[in-house]
Structure formats: structure tokens, C-alpha cells
């Protein structure tokens, strides 16, 4: 390997009033009691973001995710508040939005209006360390066709504004409305990426480099590649699965570069179609296969095919057995979207769905 492919993650957590099961705008109070190096604010006062330390193993990442969730739970519990790691909080409504007080967020609300006012969504981001930013840009192009399976596994947002949307991940549709979301298009180097960001800022459409909301992006400051398409995941096991698959996808792409394998990039509409299909049905129907000319494929076959394709890289990290088992567990129980709909079907109650999501998020054991 050109560099040790370390791991880090950011989890966005909804804050939930455990009596009403509605969103709780208590982030400012909680963050006063939390370490700023590990916890941060988001646009909405109903969300806290956690930032793990840099780790080398999936077990290390699991421990960090558990530690940080417990940190929020400890300060939230006295306020009657719980946490929900999901793309959307099932009982959230647009009227629940409360802007975090800051000059930057205030300027964003004035400029983007509805996009900010409806930003009641939470994602899960994974960082993988790479040798340098030039390599990160090249890797971003090569992992793109792996992203729909990761989105389908993570899908946890069927409900929006109190209604079943028919989508497994409505969060991804809400997110794609930002002008700098989606794919970057072909890029060959960090210089080209930086030029793209500079051009976007010069248009006045985005304010700064932090608003580069691409599906996968190189860090502006350190040599990492960041995955950004996934919903937040209630079960820590599923978050670990996503991280393991993404790191293996990055390593597999790095091996292809080392071997001189030509890039076969999807055309932009095909990439968009594959992500849309994943957001629509999640694991419950078909996804699109990898490669520049995809075809419909049973979702379970797509997941197992990805694990098989990535086995050499997974073996290199010693992750194959863990990732294979976690993938089979995820297929067996369905993604969070499937489980939320099953909970709703029993009593037609969104409170039941909220209990499920909060319960799963806060049931953080030390192993799978």
C-alpha cells in the first residue's frame, strides 16, 4: 500500500424528546458539556455531530462510535432526550427546524432558504487515509460505481414530514438539491479539484470549500478520501460494515491504479440513475450492477457480489470474515428503512417507529 489506509467517521445524530418523540432543539445545551474535539454543531439545533479519532481497524472504529454515542447519551439523558442515528427522524416535520446560531449558518439560511429550512437530515461519513490528495482524486473517480450498494445498505429515511415517501432514503433526495452535491465529473489531480472548488466559489453559488457536498471528496487539508452518500445508521454494526466496504473499495481502486488498469467511468446520468435506484428501493428490490453499462440486479446479489469483488482488499486488512458476516446479517434483517416500515405496519404509529430507531441507536453493545 502507498500509505496505511486509516479510518475515521462522522455520525450525525438526531436529538429526540423521549416523551413526545419529536425532535429536540437541545444541541446547544448538550454541546456545552461535550468535548469540542469530538462533538460539533450542525445547521439545525436538533442535531449533534460526532467525530471519531483516527483508527486502523474496524474494531477500533466500532469502539469510537460506541464511545461517542455514549457521550451524547450521558449528557442528554437528564434532559429526557435520546439519540436517533437515521437519515430522517420518522416523526420530524418541517416546522421542527431551528437554525443553529452562527454568522455562517445565518448567511446560508438567507441565501439557500428552503434548502436550509428543510435540512432535517442526518448522514454518516467515512474517511479513509491515502498517500496524497492527487491519489485521493483519482480514487474518487474509481469508487463511484460502488456507492449505490453502500447507499442501499445505509438507507434509513423512508419517512419525511410525517409521511411514508415510498423511498428507502429520502435523505439522499433532500441532500441532492444542494448545488454542489453529486459527482464532480472527471478530474485527474488535486490541482484540478481545487480549481473546480475555486470556480464554484467564484460563481457565488457556494460560499466556501466546506460546501463541496460531493458524493466522495478529498479532504481540503489532509490526505483522506471521504464518503458522503450514506444515511446515518441506527445499528453500529451497519456503520462498521459500510466503513469496511468503503475502505476495501478504496484499496481495490488503489491496486488498479498500481497495476495500470484503465478507468472505466460511468457517464453522469448512469451514475445518477444508479444512486436514485438505491435511494428508491434500498435492499427491497433491484439495484444496478457495477460498471459503465449496468443492468438490474437483485439487491442481495449486488451486496454479496460487492463483498466478493472486494475480498482481496478485505483479506489484506483482515476484514473479510467480519464484513462478510455483517453483510449477511444486514441482508437477513433488512436495512433500517425496511425495519421502520415493519414497525409502522403493526399499529400505524410513527411513535412506534421512533421507539425502534432510538432503541437501536442506543443499544450499543461491544460486539456484533
Domains and CATH numbers, the chain: 7-362 (3.30.590.20)
Residue with cell 446560508: 108
Collapsing DSSP to helix, strand or coil, 229 comes out as strand
β-bridge mates for residue 9, sequence order: 126
State phi, psi for 12 to the nearest 5 degrees.
-100, 130
Handedness of CA 1, 214, 92, 42 (dihedral sign): positive
Q: How far apart are CA 112 and CA 179, in angstroms?
A: 10
- CB-CB neighbours of 264 under 10 Å: 12
Distance, in Å, from the CA atom of 314 to the CA atom of 67, rounded to the nearest integer, reads: 25
Q: What pLDDT sits at residue 5?
A: 93
Question: Cell 436495512 appears where?
Answer: 335
| pLDDT by 10s per residue, the chain, length 368 | 446 899 999 999 999 999 999 999 999 999 999 999 999 999 999 999 999 999 999 999 999 999 999 999 999 999 999 999 999 999 999 999 999 999 999 999 999 999 999 999 999 999 999 999 999 999 999 999 999 999 999 999 999 999 999 999 999 999 999 999 999 999 989 999 999 999 999 999 999 999 999 999 998 777 899 999 999 999 999 999 999 999 999 999 999 999 999 999 899 999 999 999 999 999 999 999 999 899 999 999 999 999 999 999 999 999 999 999 999 999 999 999 999 999 999 899 999 999 999 999 999 754 33
Q: How far apart are CA 313 and CA 310, in angstroms?
A: 6
pLDDT at res. 198: 96
- Whether the CB-CB separation of 325 and 268 falls below 8 Å is answered with no
Closest CA to 361 of 179, 137, 162, 156: 156
Q: Which pLDDT score is estimated for 365? A: 53
C-alpha span between 354 and 339 (Å, rounded):
11
What residues contact 181, with CB distance under 8 A and at least 6 apart? 175, 213, 214, 215
> pTM of this prediction?
0.96
Dihedral angle computed from the Cα positions of residues 157, 162, 167 and 168, in that order, rounded to the nearest 10 degrees: 30
Predicted local confidence at residue 367, as pLDDT: 38
Amino acid at each position: 500500500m502507498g500509505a496505511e489506509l486509516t479510518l475515521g467517521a462522522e455520525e450525525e445524530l438526531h436529538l429526540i424528546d423521549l416523551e413526545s418523540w419529536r425532535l429536540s432543539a437541545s444541541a446547544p445545551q448538550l454541546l456545552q458539556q461535550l468535548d469540542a474535539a469530538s462533538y460539533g454543531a450542525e445547521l439545525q439545533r436538533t442535531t449533534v455531530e460526532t467525530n471519531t479519532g483516527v483508527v486502523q481497524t474496524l474494531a477500533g472504529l466500532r469502539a469510537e462510535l460506541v464511545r461517542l454515542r455514549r457521550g451524547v447519551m450521558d449528557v442528554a439523558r437528564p434532559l429526557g432526550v435520546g439519540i436517533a442515528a437515521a437519515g430522517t427522524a420518522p416523526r420530524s416535520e418541517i416546522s421542527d427546524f431551528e437554525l443553529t446560531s452562527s454568522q455562517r449558518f445565518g448567511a446560508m439560511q438567507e441565501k439557500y432558504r428552503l434548502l436550509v429550512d428543510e435540512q432535517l437530515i442526518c448522514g454518516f461519513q467515512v474517511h479513509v487515509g491515502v498517500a496524497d490528495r492527487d491519489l485521493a482524486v483519482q480514487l474518487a473517480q474509481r469508487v463511484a460505481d460502488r456507492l449505490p450498494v453502500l447507499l442501499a445498505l445505509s438507507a434509513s429515511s423512508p419517512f419525511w414530514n410525517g409521511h411514508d415517501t415510498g423511498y428507502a432514503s429520502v435523505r439522499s433526495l433532500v441532500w441532492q438539491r444542494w448545488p454542489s452535491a453529486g459527482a464532480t465529473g472527471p478530474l485527474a489531480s488535486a490541482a484540478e479539484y481545487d480549481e473546480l472548488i475555486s470556480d464554484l466559489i467564484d460563481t457565488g453559488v457556494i460560499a466556501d470549500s466546506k460546501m463541496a457536498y460531493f458524493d466522495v471528496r478529498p479532504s481540503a487539508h489532509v490526505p483522506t478520501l471521504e464518503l458522503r452518500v450514506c444515511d446515518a445508521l441506527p445499528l453500529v454494526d451497519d456503520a462498521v460494515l459500510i466503513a469496511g466496504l468503503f475502505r476495501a473499495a478504496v484499496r481495490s481502486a488503489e491496486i488498479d491504479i498500481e497495476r495500470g488498469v484503465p478507468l472505466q467511468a460511468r457517464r453522469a446520468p448512469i451514475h445518477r440513475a444508479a444512486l436514485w435506484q438505491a435511494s428508491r428501493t434500498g435492499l427491497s428490490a433491484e439495484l444496478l450492477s457495477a460498471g459503465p453499462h449496468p443492468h438490474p440486479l437483485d439487491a442481495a446479489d449486488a451486496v454479496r457480489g460487492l463483498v466478493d469483488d472486494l475480498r482481496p482488499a478485505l483479506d489484506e486488512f483482515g476484514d473479510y470474515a467480519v464484513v462478510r458476516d455483517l453483510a449477511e446479517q444486514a441482508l437477513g434483517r433488512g436495512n433500517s428503512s425496511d425495519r421502520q416500515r415493519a414497525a409502522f405496519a403493526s399499529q400505524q404509529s410513527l411513535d412506534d417507529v421512533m421507539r425502534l430507531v432510538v432503541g437501536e441507536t442506543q443499544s450499543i453493545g461491544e460486539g456484533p
